[in-house]
Structure formats: C-alpha cells, structure tokens
Amino acid sequence: MRQLGILGGMSWESTSSYYRLLNQGVRQRLGGLHSAPLLLHSVDFAQIAALQQQGDWDAAGQVLAEIAQRLEGAGATALLLATNTMHKVAPAIEAAVDIPLLHIGDAVGQALQQRGIKRAALLGTRFTMLEDFYRQRLAERFAIEVLIPLEDQVEEVDRVIFAELCQGRFETASRDYYLKCMAQLRERGAEVAILGCTEIGLLLDGSQATLEMLDSTELHVEMGLDWLLGE
C-alpha cells in the first residue's frame, strides 16, 4: 500500500473519523490484520480558526503548506486535507509539494456525477457555502448547480459547526434545524444534500432526513482508500 498523509485537527472531532474510516476501509478491502499506513499532522485548530476569522487566508495557507512539505518529506505519497473549508487554500498546498492533494470537492463532485445529480444543496461553514472555491469547482468540473440555505440560516448553520460540533456537542435542536434547512432546500429543487463540513455527519444519521445526504468525509475517505490501494 501507498502511504497517505493527513492534514488534520480542523477539527480533531472529524479527523478522528478519518482515521477510523480509513482503517476500517482497508480492513474491509484487504481483510485480516491489514490497516492503513498513515502519517497524521494534527494542528491546533484555534490558530487556524483565528486566521479564518481574520480573513488571513495567505497565512493559513502558509501554515498548511509547510505541514504538507513535512508530510511529503516523511514519506507521504499523497495528501488528504481533512476539512472542507481549508480547501480554500488548496492551491497554496499544491504549490508547495510534488505529491497530489486529493481534493474533497472532487470526491463530492465525482459522487454527484455518478448519480446523475444536477442540483445539490450544500451545508457547511459560511466560508464553504458563500465563497466560490467550493461551489465553483463543483460547477465548472462537474456541472453541479449548488443551492445554499437562506442568509439567516447560513449564519446558524455556521454557528452550530464552530460552537457545537467542533467542540464535541451534538444537540437535538441543532439536528432538527439542519433537517428543516434540508427540507426547505428540497422544496427549492435540491436532489441531494452535500454535508460539506466534515463534522456534520457526526450530527446527522439520515434517518429523519427528507433529502438524501452525501457525507463529504465518507466520500473523501473513499478517495483516500482508492489511492492507498492503487485502485
């Protein structure tokens, strides 16, 4: 198997899911005592979150680019950036290394394309929902029209992520709010909902959703597994 580098800690709640799912996936595909050969660098998320709030994406990109270089130097053959939002600085990371960054937007876009989906709802941080780096990639590479919640809903979806999910809190009221947002997006024409924040899958299990959910974490892990096993 190839060795995979993970840029994690944003937040560690979802990075732990990456570690578990990658190892479970290798065991399912190969059986026995096989597990995933991984190199993990987990950041102090407070530093990255502060740069996000300040809008200093150049500095955030530099931090992650330097980590990517260290992972490459340690033997990683490809990288997973275990967060949707920080793919805003994917170009800085890609420019700093000679190994591929397996882009979470491509994992999502490929899954949508395979299902024949043309219009998808997107839930994530306000950066992911409102800025172009994610929605534009889905539109240009995969011809996906992206719908996002209403303005006041965007703020609440974002608040829940940082104030609750990233801190290990999973509240019933927040789960109900997300389900309500998805139901309204379905009424507006969304065929599926992209869980475009790596923590949202920890909150929602899909049992009460009126819209099919595609978990970006799970799709990203599948892309990582394909790389690990050369598939």
Q: Where are the domains of the chain?
A: 4-103+219-229, 105-215
Which residues are known to be catalytic?
83, 197
Predicted confidence band of residue 231 (pLDDT cuts 50, 70, 90)? confident
* Four-way CATH pick for 4-103+219-229: 3.30.70.3400, 3.10.20.30, 3.40.50.1860, 3.90.1300.10: 3.40.50.1860
pLDDT reported for residue 209: 85
pTM of the model: 0.96
Q: How far is CA 80 from CA 71, 143, 227, in A?
A: 11, 24, 10
pLDDT, one tens digit per residue, over 10-64 is 999 999 999 999 999 999 999 999 999 999 999 999 999 999 999 999 999 999 9
pLDDT for the residue numbered 77: 98
pLDDT at residue number 205: 83
Residue 199's pLDDT band (boundaries 50, 70, 90)? very high
Residue 187 burial by Cβ neighbours in a 10 Å radius (0-12, 13-18, 19+) = exposed
Same fold, 4-103+219-229 and 105-215: yes
For the domain made up of 105-215, the CATH class stated in words is alpha beta
Q: Which amino acid makes up residue 50?
A: A
User: Are the C-beta atoms of residues 94 and 166 closer than 8 Å to each other?
Assistant: no
* Whether 93 contacts 65, CB under 8 Å: yes
φ/ψ of 116, rounded to 5, equals 75, 25
CA distances from 101 to 38, 71, 92, 117 (A): 15, 12, 11, 25
How much is the average pLDDT of 177-184? Answer: 96
